[in-house]
Each structure stands twice: as structure tokens, then as C-alpha cells.
Chain A
Amino acid sequence: MNAKEKPQASPATKPIRPGLFVERPRPLLLGSQCKETGKVFFPAQRMNPETHTEGTMEPVRIEGSGTLYSFTKVVRGLSGFASPYMLGVIQLDAGPSLIAQLEGWQGLALKEGMRVELVVGQIKQEPDGTALIGPKFRPVPA
């Protein structure tokens, strides 16, 4: 490969996994909801694992608002991850919870129970420079 063929300037970005989130017009998570029980699942499920029922799940876009249940600063992360990074357990208002990275936490006094909102940002960088993007959460100071 000569210099001219090398990928230029703006690095490629790629979702960390397909079907997980949408970024526009605003970030939302892609999950599923049981039309019988109303329960929301993230990531999306093809059947309701709580009632062992198939055929009751419908795709749903999940609001990314929630609270921070717990968090820790990962000082020594794995290669590809920009260390240190902040990891948290997010309790979504819509029901599901997930462990995800925080964004914009630097300089903030994080507290359990504080409000967070979904953003889409870089989770990690692949060895070829591709940025893998996905759901992250930004603390919303009270």
C-alpha cells in the first residue's frame, strides 16, 4: 500500500454492535417491550425471558435518562480503551439497567443516585484506528 491509498484524516467510526442504539435526531437505545406485561428489555430480546413467552415482544426506542447506581474509575484499562475511564451501573428510568462508560465526568463530583443521560461516544479504538462508538452516559449535575 502506498501513501496515497492510506485512509485519510477523519478516522472511521463504527457502532460497537448493530441494532443497539440510534444517534439521530437524539440518542436512544433500541430495546424491546412485551406487549402483555409492558416490561422493557435492553438489549432487545426475541422472547420474554420473564414469562417464557414468544411472540409478545415489540421493538421499542428507549429514552436514555436514568440514574447512576454505582461507578468506578478504571485506571488501568485494556488496550484500545482510553484510560482512565469511568464505568457505571446505569439504572434507566424505563426499567433496564446496564454497565456502560461515562462521558464528561472529569472534574465532576460523582455521586450514587445522580442523574445521567445517554450520549453516543467512542467506547474504544480498534488497532486500525476505527473508533467503535456506542452508548455512554453523561452525568447531569443537579
Chain B
Amino acid sequence: MSAVYVIGAGMTNFGPAPDVEVHELAREAAWNAITSSGVDPEDIELTYAGHAYQGQCFGQKVLMKIGITGMPIVNVENACASGSSAVYGIVNAIRAGEIDIGLAIGAEKLSGRGGGFTPLVPDDLESSMGRVMPAVFAMMAQKHMSRYGTTLEQMAKVAVKNRRNGSRNPYARWTDPITVDDVLSSPMIAEPLTRLSCCPVSDGAAAVLLASEKVARKYTSRPVAVLAAVLTSGKRTPHGMVDDRSEMTVRSAEIAYARAGIKPCDVDVCELHDPFTIAELIHYEDLGFCKPGEAGRFIDEGRSEIGGDVAVSPSGGLMTRGHPLGATGVAQIAELFWQLSGAAGDRQVPGARIGLAHAVGGGVTGLEAGACSVFILSGT
């Protein structure tokens, strides 16, 4: 089995791009990844393209703009984990020895779909009956608050931290700082989650190039090794999506830590799936950064800040960078590539060596959620 390395990354600015077609956003991200790596476009042997709502043969429409046609292209839909599922596909193809160089693209354009919410999924029963995502996480927040005494202020601190981090990220949707009071006094969406407790709907694309051990060092002196790439799906749960933990995050992380041969305390930088403030707190516990019930104190003590135990979402996370669904999972790997190769500019986590990316996607009636991915990467 070949080891797998990230050798290049690119993305577009995340935010509203009403006048740019989604294939063009994805082309820009893919081209940035290709040029940053120095790979000849003709040497790319396989592409996986992740998105949730962008139609048929998405990857083909992107790559023909660059002028690379004819290769195998797999288009992947796994809701908000579509992008990370695309990366997963490339990692496995390299591991299997099928290819030496592969491209993973994630993209989404939500402008023009109306409203501030991710579109409802009409073929899902609960979704068609009004189960919007903010409501699910609002109920998760209430469960976590009543079981562990987590406070609204502690949740709001997630948004404040991620805004501070994201303000140094040139790709991020938001850049202006916010306070706990701003978060708590912004308009209510689903009690107790306010608008600033929710990630902004965005357009955008991201891409990463991955390579086998055989060729990685031809392109970069600082490849980033993929120590673990884990994809799982949600199980049937007694109360569907509403719980004070994410079982599939716990399960995915345990597999990933075992494969990488590391412990949670070894993680220096984490790109965490934070569509809502409460999600970040719950996932601190799920990923083992602290014990169940201690997430509120974990953020109070600044342990997830850059400079703390583990820098969580130096990119700003979904909360500040923005969340173009299919793009997010790839943007997380791009951010870790930059962080672990010392190329993250003003938001660089000093001395970052081990990174973890975590994505969750999909609301399915009866399941905890659709898909979960955990990647562990290491600088070299």
C-alpha cells in the first residue's frame, strides 16, 4: 500500500458569487491547486468531484474548462461531507496503487436558491415537514445545556473565536470581529440559536492534489502525509438526529486515531465541522479533546484557541469561512495542507505538526446523519 500525500491545494474566496457559474468557481480552485503543486495537468489520473446540489457530470464540466478530458471522473454526493468523500476516494485509489496523482474537488453554489437556509430535501420525510438544520442543532443545544449545564455564553464564544480566526483568512466569508453580546443579541433563528450562531450560506470551491509516495517529493519538499482517512455513515438512533453527542464522530475519530497511531492530545490543529456553535462544543467531546460535559469549560479556558491545547478551525471554520456544502470538506484538507506545510500566513498555528479534519453531512429521517469523515494529516 502506498503512503498518500497532499501536494497542492487551492480554493476560491467563500461568499456570495451570484454572477459566477459554479463550474467556473470549481475550475478556479482546481487550477489554483494544480499550479501550486507544479503538476502537469495531463499527469492527473483520476478526479473525484463532490457537491450536493450541482447536477450531473459536475467534474467533467469543470475539467473540460482546464482542458483535461478523458480521465476517470467520479462525482460524489454525501451532503455536507461530499467534499471530504471526494478526498477519501482519491486517497483510497492511491493507497490501492491504482494511480499516483489524483485531484479532489468540492464546490457548491447556493446563491439564487432563496432564503437563508440550506434547501429542504423534499424526499426526506422530516425535512419536508419543517425539520430545518438550525432546529435540529437547537434541540441538541438544549440537550447539552440541560445535561451538562453548558451556557449560551459558552456557545457564543465559539462564534467569537472562529470569527477572530477567520478574520486572518483571506478566503473567509466574514472578517469583522464580533462579541458574545453580538452573537446573543442577533435575531433568533431556532431557540436558542441566533443568526450569528449559524454558519453563513456561501458559494465557493476548493481542490486538493494528492500523490503517492513514489512521486510526491518530485513536486514539493514539504508534502503533507495522510495518516488516516476515515469515512463512516450514521446509524439508526432512538431520537433521530437529536442527541447531546455525535456517535458517528466518536466512532470515526476512534478509527482514525488508531490508524494514525496518535491520541487526541497529539492533534495540534483541527478543522472541525461547526455549522452551528453548539456543534463545535459537542465535537470537542466527540473527538476526545475533552471529556463529555467539559466542552463549555474547554472553550472558557481558551484551550481551543490558536496557542491553546489544539487550535480549532484557524480558518474560521464553517462559521466564518462559510459553508458551500460540497466545498467544505475539501477546504478543510486545503487548510490543513497549508497549516502543516507552514504556508498559512497570518493564521499559521505555530509549530503545527498533526492536523485533524472532521466533516458531517446529511439529514436523514431515522439516522443520526448521513456521513462523517475524519482525516489525520501530518507535516513532514
Min CB distance A94 to B, Å, is: 14
Interchain Cβ contacts within 8 Å, total number: 90
Min CB distance B145 to A, Å, is: 11
Interface size class of B (residues with CB under 8 A): 20 to 34
Dominant SS among interface residues on chain A: strand
Of residues 39 to 82 in A, which have CB atoms within 8 Å of B's CB atoms? 43, 49-50, 69-79, 81
Tell me which residues across on chain A come within 8 A of B11, comparing CB atoms: none
- A17-B125, A99-B131 are known contacts. Are A89 and B242 too (CB-CB below 8 A)? yes
* Contact indicator per residue, chain B 265-287, by CB within 8 Å of chain A (1) or not (0): 00000000000000000000000
Tell me which residues across on chain B come within 8 A of A69, comparing CB atoms: 239, 242
Q: Does B154 contact A (CB under 8 A)?
A: no
**A123 x B116 contact (CB < 8 A):** no
CA distance A37 to B146 in the complex (A): 34
CA distance A53 to B187 in the complex (A): 48
Tell me which residues across on chain A come within 8 A of B242, comparing CB atoms: 69-70, 89, 99
**Count of residues in A whose CB is under 8 Å from the partner chain:** 32
Min CB distance B41 to A, Å, is: 41
CA distance A1 to B129 in the complex (A): 32
**B129 x A134 contact (CB < 8 A):** yes
Q: Does B179 contact A (CB under 8 A)?
A: no
- A16-B129, A98-B126, A101-B129 are known contacts. Are A70 and B143 too (CB-CB below 8 A)? yes
A→B interface (CB under 8 Å): 16-17, 20, 43, 49-50, 69-79, 81, 85, 87, 89, 91, 97-101, 112, 123-124, 134-135
B→A interface (CB under 8 Å): 114-117, 120, 125-126, 128-132, 134-136, 138-139, 142-143, 146, 187-191, 236, 238-242, 365
